[in-house]
Structure 1
């Protein structure tokens, strides 16, 4: 038997590494678990297996965490670096590396418990009042002329929205109403910014209310009840794009349309340029077809009138003048419409004017040809071939022998002048009626 030397302490136990790790893990299990802890997420990573790994930290320390797929599938949001969270789990030791590790069983945003309850109560109240009713929500304008934007001048959301609008509708003016989007003063500033756009002249056609993602505390200004009622009173449609796709606020439910992100909000109110060009081409085809139909209808009407005319020269001249005036007004109207289209769509400034001008010129030439054909029906042209226009003393046209009496005075119009005649004899059948002419 070995006896320790006088004055020496008894020898301490020598642990195997694995045994010590297990002993520490048992001590932690007995002393702390289950444990709840709050901190900020750093280095969040979701593996292909579905397990999640991250570090939970604060100013005084940090703790490695693992959240296995079973628990991760129950998350109602997408955690990311910088999120402040509250989690519940079991503290232990990861024996292969001898590291302290917290196995997370549940995770939520910090402060979500009380704030989320307030959110649900406020949402239920406003929904019961009808602020979320789909029947009161308005469609977005197909072609807005001015866009209002409410956000913070320093927010990344402003850059995202401006970038999307410049890409899709660089010709549209955007009116920025700056406001805080986070903090105690944010609701009042958001309300003031919206109201400034409501009374703006010239008015905007649609309003974007946007900000980037964040925790429930960061987005809490958009759950303000007064802000919700201000959104509902908007005279124009309001699109709200707050946070990420999984974030919801009271403002989202009050808006005429909710967008999952600020960029998506901008894209919803700004159709791509190609869509505008396709619409312009469609309108051009309709205008051309309408012009052709009008000209065809006018031509048919002219033919019907010409067929009913007894002496069409004067009426033909009036019709020709009227057609020329209509053609002039049509050209003038086309020039005005074309100028407006050029102002709105600079990319069509050259091709469309030339096409429309050429089409109008061709139709004008067709009108002139129709007028020339109508002129050929003038009785004055017929008189050049040896015919005469006979009328009685009252000016009534004489077309039948039964209208003549011996000794009656008649008036004859020839190609180069007029003559007064007296009827000597009237006969029926193919024989001529004899007259004596007194040259006038």
Structure 2
């Protein structure tokens, strides 16, 4: 809406121009301040104020951008906000629309962390396929950390409780400070070169992003990735993540958890040994029982020498008796066989007279049966002929009946189906005639 001819603006025109001015000169700028009066609406939008010691400004962060933050700001926390300055025209109030936020003082470090993380992830250093398995029963464990760190005491205490039989070698290095990353890398390389442990623990306690920054070093990350010895990282608390955590073969939420993950506890080992011994004893007992059963069966089959001599003596006496009777037996057997063969020969000798009589009798019976069968078939044939003659339609026509058909061959059954003047074929007992319908009369 243009101004009046006298150059006077309306309030709406003024607010619109001020809003355009703010949007064009204060677009996507960073503002540092403290969150206050924070409200999360049902729609998901965030409404709050950003303030410092001397001033405050209203702010809004719409749902789509708020969901990308990953956490909910708390009143009193300080952040750096990336904002667009706008004007709410109906009231003339100006406010900031927040696009993103980061914790105050951590923005540059966090951005460097994300850049390095993306770079190493693109190179495949975070790929689970390249991670090395951790030995469950190591002989020695190496710990890379500061000698003064509370994390070292936690690790040693946990290992003394869980696995006092495992040797622990410490590779000291500062975990915080300007040269901490390089010293950690040197200690880790020394442990790899000496190759005297089965697993390496890289640990330190919790702290801010700045405190943990030594574990976000690229050189340290590459040494961890190239290590032939499995590396477990236990840096900070459970919510803390460093580049070392992503590259390590196993990430533990705390130093104590790293000590618990690096080996099986003595109690679990002894329990496994006890279970294996119990299983071995049970199997040995089953083997002994099966052997005892086989022994019992073998004993049952075993014959004493005295019994075997007695059995052989009895068999010898039987053979002597059979030998004494042997001369008479062949003659008796031959005589019996001759008598049997004579009886079979007599029974099998042919009797011509009797056979001829049997054949004649069988022939007579066969002739009589054929005669009776022929007579029965002739009777059935005559009955069938009579039935066929009775059912012959020509016989019916000879008694004075007729079959009336239309020109298409259809048999006429009802006079009402005919039309006057229609030609019909009438089949009689002898011959046929062609007639024309002069009159129709139906029967009710």
Q: TM-score, normalised by structure 2?
A: 0.47
Bigger Rg, which one: 2
Q: TM-score, normalised by structure 1?
A: 0.47
Give the structure with the larger helix fraction.
2
